[in-house]
Amino acid sequence: MGGFFGVVSKEDCVKDLFYGTDYHSHLGTKRGGLAIKAQDGLNRFIHNIENTQFRSKFDQDIVNIQSKSGIGVISDYDDQPLLIRSHLGNYAIVTVGAIKNVESIVKKSFKTRWLHFSEMSRGEINPTELAAALINQGHTFEEGIQKAHDEIEGSCSMLILTAEGIYAARDKLGRTPVVIGKKQGSIAATLETCAFPNLGYKIEKYLGPGEIVFITEDGYEQRKAPEKPMQICSFLWVYYGYPASSYEGINVEDVRNRCGAILAKRHPVEIDFVAGIPDSGIGHGLGYASSAGKPFKRPFVKYTPTWPRSFLPQDQAIRDLVAKMKLIPIRELIDGKRLLFCEDSIVRGTQLKGTIQRLYDVGALEVHMRPACPPLLYSCKFLNFSTSKSEMDLAARKAIKDLEGEGEVDLKKYSQYGSEKYRAMEDRIREKLRLTSLKYQSLDDLVRAIGLPKEKLCKYCWNGEE
C-alpha cells in the first residue's frame, strides 16, 4: 500500500520529514526514500527496508543534511522518490496507489517514439516514473497531475517537490487520504495523520478527491478544487490504517470500537472473556467487550522486540512461521475458558487456523470469532494492497468452491448478508477453522460504524461493485 509525508518550513525540517515518513512504516513495504531541496538542487536517498526499520537505514543519511523542504515515502516495492528533469523544471515525486492500466499507457506513449522507461526486475515499469511521464505532458504541474489522474485506472495520490514548494494531490476518487497539517513556521502533507501529534502539527485540511494544493513556507493554496464523487477505501478503518489516524475526520480506533460494539449487539454469545487478534483486532475486541459487558483479556501477546514485520518475507511458509513465533499464548488465561476473538478480517485463513488450533492445544473450551468486516470475495484492484495473491486463495472463495465445485458461480448470492448461500459459506469457513461460532459483520453495519454515506466508501472487496 505505502504512505508518504512532505513538509515545507521556514526552518530546517529534516527531522520532521524523517519522523513523519517513519510513521508510515506500518503500511507493509519494501523501500523507503527521502528527497530534499539542498543548496545545489534536489537530493535523495533510497534504501531497502525489507528486513529492517526505516529509521535504522536513514538515521546516518540525515545527520549531515539540512533542508527547508522535503518529501518521504514508504513504498510497496518500487524505488522512490524519483528525481525528474522535465520542461516543468527539476522535481522529486512520490506516489501511493496502483496503476492498473500500465500496459495501455506505455503502448500509447511509445507512439511518440520519444519516451522510454527504465525497467525494474521482471520487466515491470516503475509506476512513479509512469505517473511522472503523464504529468510531464501538461503545460503546468496542475494540468499534468490532472492528466495523470484522468489516464490512470486504479489510484494515484502524490507529492511533488519543486524548488518553490510541494504539490500535494489526492487521487481522483479519494481512495487514499491526503491531509494537510500546520504548526508555527511549517506546513506538512501526510497520508497518515498519526504522524502529526508528536511532531506538533494540527490537522488543517483533508484534501478532497482529485484536489491539488501547493504548499510553500507561507501557507498552502488550492490549485484544483475537489471532485464530488468519492470512493475512499473502507479497509483503511478496518485493517491497515493506524489506530491514531483519522480520515475524513473519522478516527480509526473509534471506528474499530464501534465495529466491535455492533457485533456484540448483533451476535451475542455466552463466553468468559473477549480478546482481539493483535494488533488490528484489539480495537474491535475492546468495542465488543465494553458493549457486551465482558472482560477484555490478552490470551495471546505479541513478541515485538526482535521480529520484523510478518508480511515481508516472500515465502508464505516463512511468513506463517514468523507470524506464529510472534504470538505467544498464555495458558493460564486460556485453559478451560470460552473465548471470543475479534479480528479485522479473514483473508486466506491459513494463519488463523493455526492460531485457533494453538488455543485448543492449551486448553480452550470454545473459540468464537467475530470479524469486523464481511467475507472478502474479491481482490483489491484500486490500491497496491493485496488481500491475497489470487482471489481463489481467499477463505470465502475456497469455501464457495467446496460448496459449488469448479465452474461459474453467482457470487452476488454469497455477498447477500444472511441469505441461504451466505450462511452456508459462513458455516463452511467456521468448520474449516474449527471455530465454535463465526459471525461476520454485515456491510451495512460496517458502513454504519464508519459513519460516512455509503456511496462515498469503496466496498469492492466485499460486494464486487465499482
What is the distance between the alpha carbons of residues 263 and 272, in angstroms, rounded to a whole number?
Answer: 17
Residues 239/280, Cβ–Cβ less than 8 Å? yes
**DSSP 3-state helix, strand, coil percentages of the chain (rounded to 5)?**
35, 25, 40
Regarding 380 and contact with ligand SF4 (CB under 6 A), the answer is yes
* DSSP 8-state class, residue 239: I
| Strand residues in 374-461 grouped as ranges (E) | 437-438, 457-458
Q: How far is the CB of 346 from ligand SF4 (least distance, A)?
A: 14
Strands of the 179-183 sheet, one edge to the other: 41-48, 31-38, 69-75, 3-9, 186-190, 179-183, 202-206
Q: How far is the CB of 234 from ligand SF4 (least distance, A)?
A: 5
Residues 206/249, Cβ–Cβ less than 8 Å? yes
Cell of 344: 479485522
Residues 179/244, Cβ–Cβ less than 8 Å? no
What is the distance between the alpha carbons of residues 33 and 444, in angstroms, rounded to a whole number?
Answer: 39
Regarding 235 and contact with ligand SF4 (CB under 6 A), the answer is yes
Nearer to ligand SF4, 169 or 447 (CB): 447
Q: How far is the CB of 464 from ligand SF4 (least distance, A)?
A: 9
Nearer to ligand SF4, 199 or 380 (CB): 380
Hunting for cell 508464505 — which residue is that?
A: 316
Regarding 385 and contact with ligand SF4 (CB under 6 A), the answer is yes
Helix (H, G, I), strand (E, B) or coil at 396: helix
Helix (H, G, I), strand (E, B) or coil at 273: strand
Q: How far is the CB of 273 from ligand SF4 (least distance, A)?
A: 31
Regarding 273 and contact with ligand SF4 (CB under 6 A), the answer is no
Residue 215: which of 137, 170, 159 has the closest Cα?
159
Q: How far is the CB of 112 from ligand SF4 (least distance, A)?
A: 32
Q: Report how many residues bind ligand SF4 under the rule CB under 6 A.
A: 12
Sole binder of ligand SF4 in the list 14, 96, 233, 352 (CB under 6 A): 233
Nearer to ligand SF4, 90 or 386 (CB): 386
Nearer to ligand SF4, 341 or 460 (CB): 460
CA atoms within 13 A on the CB side of 349: 23
Binding region for ligand SF4 (CB under 6 A) out of 20-28, 57-65, 305-313, 455-463: 455-463
Q: How far is the CB of 11 from ligand SF4 (least distance, A)?
A: 37
Q: How far is the CB of 384 from ligand SF4 (least distance, A)?
A: 10
Residue 373: which of 243, 254, 256, 286 has the closest Cα?
256
Sole binder of ligand SF4 in the list 161, 213, 289, 383 (CB under 6 A): 383
Residues 125/106, Cβ–Cβ less than 8 Å? yes
Q: How far is the CB of 152 from ligand SF4 (least distance, A)?
A: 14
Residue 241: which of 292, 175, 301 has the closest Cα?
175
Q: What are the distances in angstroms from CA 377 to CA 36, 391, 401, 412?
A: 42, 7, 12, 10
Nearer to ligand SF4, 67 or 280 (CB): 280
Q: How far is the CB of 462 from ligand SF4 (least distance, A)?
A: 7
Binding region for ligand SF4 (CB under 6 A) out of 20-28, 37-45, 362-370, 453-461: 453-461
Binding region for ligand SF4 (CB under 6 A) out of 89-97, 263-271, 378-386, 447-455: 378-386
Binding track over 164-203 against ligand SF4, x by CB under 6 A: -----------x----------------------------
Regarding 234 and contact with ligand SF4 (CB under 6 A), the answer is yes
Binding region for ligand SF4 (CB under 6 A) out of 230-238, 271-279, 306-314, 432-440: 230-238
Regarding 458 and contact with ligand SF4 (CB under 6 A), the answer is yes
* DSSP 8-state class, residue 207: P
Regarding 382 and contact with ligand SF4 (CB under 6 A), the answer is yes
Cell of 194: 498519526
Hunting for cell 488543517 — which residue is that?
A: 204
Q: What are the distances in angstroms from CA 392 to CA 93, 320, 380, 428, 440?
A: 35, 19, 13, 15, 20
Binding region for ligand SF4 (CB under 6 A) out of 188-196, 203-211, 227-235, 268-276: 227-235
Binding positions for ligand SF4, rule: CB under 6 A: 175, 233-235, 380, 382-383, 385, 458-461
